[in-house]
């Protein structure tokens, strides 16, 4: 019986102590929960980004303006048009047509002799067909709300360059950067080297003729 009464007494003692300290323990637990809730919040504010996607159409037409340097004839303004067909996400073909005007050669400027070309013969036009590869597709972020698709591409092609009543077979190589401003509109800038031979000054020479242009294209 003594053991039984002692056990009951110990149980009553434990219940009494628990009733005293339980409110403090519960309060401390609630405080810890509030502190953790203040530090780690489940309400995450997410940004809404508007991304310009390409239309499903594969054709792209555009216009471009720039500068073209014809070796030994100086630089002049360049204008032209382009038509592209996107074979896949990585490859596309592009046909371009451009016009510019030849300046005076160094021989004409230094010798003071009569011009070797008439004004009509100084009109230069070219056309080419190129195959291009989208090397580095990516995105450009403007502020926190807008993202634009973009890509860096390289290309190579061939065509003809016409001036001085002659046609010259031309190789072309270059690189460019395209920014998709809308799902139907793109802006681009590229640099190209047009390589052809001519014997206008009496000796056949191979020339590198650089052009740099900016343009806008639409998809349809």
pLDDT tens for each residue of 81-115: 999 999 998 999 999 999 999 998 877 777 766 78
Show the tokens assigned to 142: 């403007």
DSSP state letter for 56: S
Give the pLDDT confidence score for residue 93 in this predicted structure: 97
**pLDDT one-digit tens code per residue, 174-204:** 999 999 988 899 999 999 999 999 888 778 8
Whether the pLDDT of residue 206 is over 90: the answer is yes
Position 163 scores a pLDDT of 93
For a pLDDT cut of 70, what percent of the chain falls above it?
A: 74
Structurally, what CATH architecture does the domain formed by 50-219 represent? Beta Barrel (2.40)
pLDDT for res 159: 98
Please state the length of the chain.
220
What is d(CA 88, CA 58) in angstroms, rounded to the nearest whole number?
9
Give whole-number Cα distances, 192 to 71, 98, 103, 125, 220, in Å.
14, 12, 20, 15, 26
Q: Which of 27-41, 53-67, 188-202 has the lowest mean pLDDT?
A: 27-41
Instruction: With cut-offs at 50, 70 and 90, classify the pLDDT of residue 1.
Output: very low
Higher pLDDT: 209 or 41? It is: 209
- How far the first Cα of the chain sits from its last, in Å, is 100
Cα 59 to Cα 46: distance, rounded to the nearest angstrom: 36
Distance CA 57, CA 181 (A): 16
- For residue range 133-160, list pLDDT tens digits in order: 999 888 888 877 788 899 999 999 999 9
Q: What is the pLDDT of residues 159-172, one digit of tens each?
A: 999 999 999 999 99
Residue 146 is predicted with a pLDDT of 81
- Note the pLDDT of residue 10: 56
In contact, 19 and 11? CB cutoff 8 Å: no
């Amino acid at each position: 019986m003594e053991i039984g009464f002692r056990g009951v007494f110990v149980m009553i003692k434990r219940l009494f102590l628990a009733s005293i300290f339980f409110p403090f323990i519960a309060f401390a637990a609630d405080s810890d929960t509030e502190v953790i809730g203040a530090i780690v919040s489940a309400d995450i504010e997410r940004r809404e980004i508007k991304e310009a996607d390409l239309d499903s159409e594969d054709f792209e037409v555009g216009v471009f303006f720039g500068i073209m340097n014809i070796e030994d004839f100086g630089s002049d303004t360049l204008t032209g048009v382009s038509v592209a067909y996107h074979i896949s996400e990585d490859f596309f073909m592009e046909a371009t047509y451009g016009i510019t005007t030849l300046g005076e050669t160094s021989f004409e400027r230094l010798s003071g002799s009569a011009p070797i070309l008439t004004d009509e013969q100084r009109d230069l036009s070219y056309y080419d067909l190129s195959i291009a590869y989208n090397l580095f597709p990516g995105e450009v972020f403007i502020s926190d709300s807008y993202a634009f698709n973009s890509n860096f591409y390289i290309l190579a092609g061939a065509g003809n360059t016409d001036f001085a009543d002659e046609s010259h077979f031309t190789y072309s190589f270059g690189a460019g950067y395209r920014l998709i401003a809308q799902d139907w509109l793109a802006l681009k800038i590229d640099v190209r080297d047009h390589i052809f031979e001519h014997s206008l000054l009496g000796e056949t020479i191979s020339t590198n003729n650089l052009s740099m242009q900016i343009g806008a294209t639409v998809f349809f």
